[in-house]
């Protein structure tokens, strides 16, 4: 039985191997990925991103536990290198990770593919598809920060949760643009610290400045993950968003962008060995012209 | 005699025709562009960008006049649609445009190529090369704003001048990132209005936050273009920057980025007729998978 068949029978070892293969290079794994794609689309993919120190990893652990009490299977893809799911620090965390790790209804996978062929977004997308086809009901993608990679990954998720903490001050301003774009649900974690009201006011002020195309106003949920407070409210907020029924529209819009991106990656992959610096020196010194150089490159893929 | 030969003998009508051809599509004109490229590299290319209302166009007129008094030939490529060089408003401007237009040592060309094949940057680059090969000593590229296009165009210039006005207030903050990246010389025009000191303090505060890789600290020049004040100082500041002798390094770094960009444009040009939206619908509804779709697209250029 090959990996695909084994994965379909619920073999999580086979599933893990498929993810490793996709992680090593989406290009090489694309036969398998193409084969499973039609079995995907059943799972809910939830992206969770937050600044370092926001307690996001504890929050994710609590969410996994809460989803498991419903009996649903959960996959976690951890991209944050400081996440305990990625083998990072778990100091002070009261959750017994082993409970999650030993639960066959939970599959945890860390990705260390920054700079990998096809990019982090491509490898994460592939891992999410594999978990989806493997019968997981909810897939959580955990990232840190709100940089370009996170925007890319939010594009893959059906819903994106952004975790903030009180007392961030000007940081909210600094990450404003990125956050406004990707958050479907805001979480103010560590809400027992001073200042959750101020942070909530700041988020609302940002929200008042622009309206989303889909009309959704991302709810703001206060949580104390270490005390298991507010976890159900996050799930309820995400469910409200997912149940609005425009998931298909979002998927089409996302795929329209993703396909361009994948095409670009595949094309540039063909030029991975081009020495742009040497070519730039030829052009700058007028030994060659840019048009002739580009023509030469294009000819490499035209035959 | 063909256009190229005529241009080389100083025929500015031929020169204008070549630019039009490049503007219509760099792809189609690239034989001519490749042929002239080795004759380029003698002109100084100066980018001038500024916010609307900064009096940039009057400033450019004054600069052209000042450069002409040295006997040097000047080409102006106006991308700002509100510039008088682009046929925009000249209300209240005391400069007699006709003096410039009738001077055979001045060549003025407006570009209206936003969205053109190959992009604005590509067409502008081509026009600058044609003017350079045509024997113009200084080429001024006039743009408005500090968006992505302006950063792209600054990448072509040997020196970039950013024009601001007193009383901009928070606008300086808003365009901070773009400005810090591209300005080699700051100009505070309309310095007779209240508040040039404050603007200068704000620019200096931004400069204190980060150091440029090349070690250059962009000087800040105060001008009143309508009164012809400070024009010589801009030229002196630009000259200081150009005479630092790292023009070659800058050109290599710029070309390394530009070649990637040109390759990307040429590649995407091949996919101009792809219906990404329809493909996204196929993928979102699982009628097809993204990997097979991309494979199909790639095959189109592989044979």
Instruction: State both tokens at B37.
Output: 């490229």
Q: Do B264 and A260 touch (CB under 8 A)?
A: no
* % of chain B surpassing 70 pLDDT: 83
For residue B116, pLDDT beyond 50:
no
**Listed range (A38-42, A88-92, B74-78, B184-188) with the worst mean pLDDT:** A88-92
Judge whether B61 and B140 are in contact, CB under 8 Å. Answer: no
Nearest to B5 by CA among B25, B29, B35, B41: B35
What would the mean pLDDT of B28-57 be, rounded to a whole number?
88
Buried-state track A176-212, b at ≥16 Cβ within 10 A, e below 16 = eebbbebbbbbbbbbbeeebbeebbebbeebbeeeee
User: What's the pLDDT at A97?
Assistant: 62
User: What's the pLDDT at B174?
Assistant: 54
**Listed range (A29-43, A69-83, B169-183, B246-260) with the worst mean pLDDT:** B169-183
Chain B contact probe: residue of A25, A252, A271 with most B CBs at under 10 A: A252
Instruction: State both tokens at A36.
Output: 């499973």
- Rounded CA-CA distance A86/B49 in Å is 47
Compare CB distances from B280 to A41, A259, A279 and report the shortest one's residue.
A259
**Listed range (A17-21, A245-249, A257-261, B127-131) with the worst mean pLDDT:** A245-249
For residue A262, pLDDT beyond 70:
yes
Who wins on pLDDT, A81 or A248? A248
Instruction: Domain ranges for chain A, please list them.
Output: 3-246, 270-302
User: What's the pLDDT at A146?
Assistant: 59
Nearest to A73 by CA among A41, A100, A36: A100
Q: How many other CB atoms are found less than 10 A from the CB of residue B35?
A: 14
Q: Which residues of B touch A259 (CB under 8 A)?
A: 276, 279-280, 283, 290, 293-294
What would the mean pLDDT of B130-155 be, rounded to a whole number?
84
DSSP helix/strand/coil, B116: coil
User: What's the pLDDT at A5?
Assistant: 85
What would the mean pLDDT of A212-222 be, rounded to a whole number?
91
Distance of CA B54 to the CA centre of its chain: 17
Q: How many other CB atoms are found less than 10 A from the CB of residue A170?
A: 8
Compare CB distances from B280 to A252, A276, A289 and report the shortest one's residue.
A252
Kindly state the DSSP code that residue A86 receives in the 8-state scheme: G
Instruction: State both tokens at A213.
Output: 């195309």
Name every residue whose Cβ is closer than 8 Å to that of residue B76 and which is 6 or more positions away in sequence. Answer: B60, B64, B85, B106, B107, B108, B109, B139, B140, B142
Question: How far A46 CA sits from the closest chain B CA (Å)?
Answer: 17
- Rounded CA-CA distance B59/B187 in Å is 10
Nearest to B18 by CA among B166, B131, B159, B183: B131
Judge whether B230 and B191 are in contact, CB under 8 Å. Answer: yes
What would the mean pLDDT of A129-136 be, rounded to a whole number?
94
Minimum Cα–Cα distance from B276: chain A residue: A256
pTM: 0.63
Who wins on pLDDT, B193 or B169? B193
Give how far Cα A225 sits from Cα of A164, A221, A230, A265, B80, Å: 12, 12, 7, 38, 53
Who wins on pLDDT, A22 or A279? A279
What would the mean pLDDT of B36-59 be, rounded to a whole number?
89
Who wins on pLDDT, A24 or B58? B58
What would the mean pLDDT of A66-76 be, rounded to a whole number?
94
User: What's the pLDDT at B177?
Assistant: 58
Across chain A, the runs of DSSP E, i.e. the strands, are 44-50, 74-78, 106-110, 138-144, 159-164, 185-188, 220-222
Mean residue pLDDT of chain A comes to 83
Who wins on pLDDT, B67 or A258? B67
Q: Do B264 and A264 touch (CB under 8 A)?
A: yes
Q: Do B289 and A34 touch (CB under 8 A)?
A: yes
Who wins on pLDDT, B20 or A52? B20
User: What's the pLDDT at B82?
Assistant: 66
Q: At what angle do helices A247-269 and B290-302 cross, to 10 degrees?
A: 40
Q: Which residues of B touch A118 (CB under 8 A)?
A: none
Judge whether B7 and B130 are in contact, CB under 8 Å. Answer: yes
ipTM over 0.85: no
Alpha helix ranges (H) inside chain B: 3-8, 12-24, 26-37, 56-69, 97-102, 119-133, 148-154, 170-174, 176-182, 196-209, 231-242, 247-269, 276-284, 290-302
For residue B303, pLDDT beyond 60:
no
User: 3.40.50.300, 3.30.56.10, 3.30.43.10, 3.40.50.740: which CATH number matches B3-246?
Assistant: 3.40.50.300
Q: Which residues pair with A49 in a beta bridge?
A: A143, A162
For residue B93, pLDDT beyond 50:
no
- Rounded CA-CA distance A281/B258 in Å is 12
For residue A277, pLDDT beyond 90:
yes
């Amino acid at each position: 039985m090959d990996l695909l068949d084994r994965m379909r029978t619920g073999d999580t070892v086979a599933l893990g191997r498929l993810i490793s293969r996709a992680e090593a290079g989406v290009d090489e794994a694309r036969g398998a990925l193409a084969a499973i794609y039609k079995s995907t689309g059943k799972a809910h993919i939830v992206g969770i991103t937050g600044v370092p120190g926001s307690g996001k990893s504890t929050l994710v652990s609590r969410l996994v536990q809460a989803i498991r009490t419903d009996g649903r299977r959960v996959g976690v893809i951890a991209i944050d290198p400081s996440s305990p799911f990625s083998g990072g620090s778990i100091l002070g965390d009261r959750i017994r990770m082993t409970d999650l790790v030993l639960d066959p209804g939970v599959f945890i996978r860390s990705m260390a593919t920054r700079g990998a062929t096809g990019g982090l977004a491509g490898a994460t997308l592939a891992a999410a598809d594999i978990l989806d086809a493997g019968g997981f009901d909810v897939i959580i993608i955990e990232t840190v920060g709100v940089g370009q990679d996170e925007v890319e990954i939010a594009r893959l998720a059906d819903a994106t949760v952004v975790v903030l903490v009180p007392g961030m001050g000007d940081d909210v301003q600094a990450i404003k643009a990125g956050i406004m774009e990707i958050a479907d649900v805001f979480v103010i974690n560590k809400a027992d610290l001073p200042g959750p009201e101020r942070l909530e006011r700041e988020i609302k002020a940002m929200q008042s400045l622009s309206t989303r195309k889909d009309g959704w106003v991302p709810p703001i949920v206060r949580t104390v993950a270490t005390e298991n407070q507010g976890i159900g409210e996050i799930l309820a907020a995400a469910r409200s968003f997912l149940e609005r029924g425009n998931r298909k529209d979002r998927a089409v819009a996302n795929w329209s962008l993703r396909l361009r991106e994948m095409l670009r990656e595949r094309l540039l992959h063909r030029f991975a060995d081009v020495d742009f610096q040497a070519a730039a020196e030829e052009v700058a010194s007028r030994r060659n012209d840019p048009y002739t150089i580009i023509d030469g490159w294009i000819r490499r893929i035209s035959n």
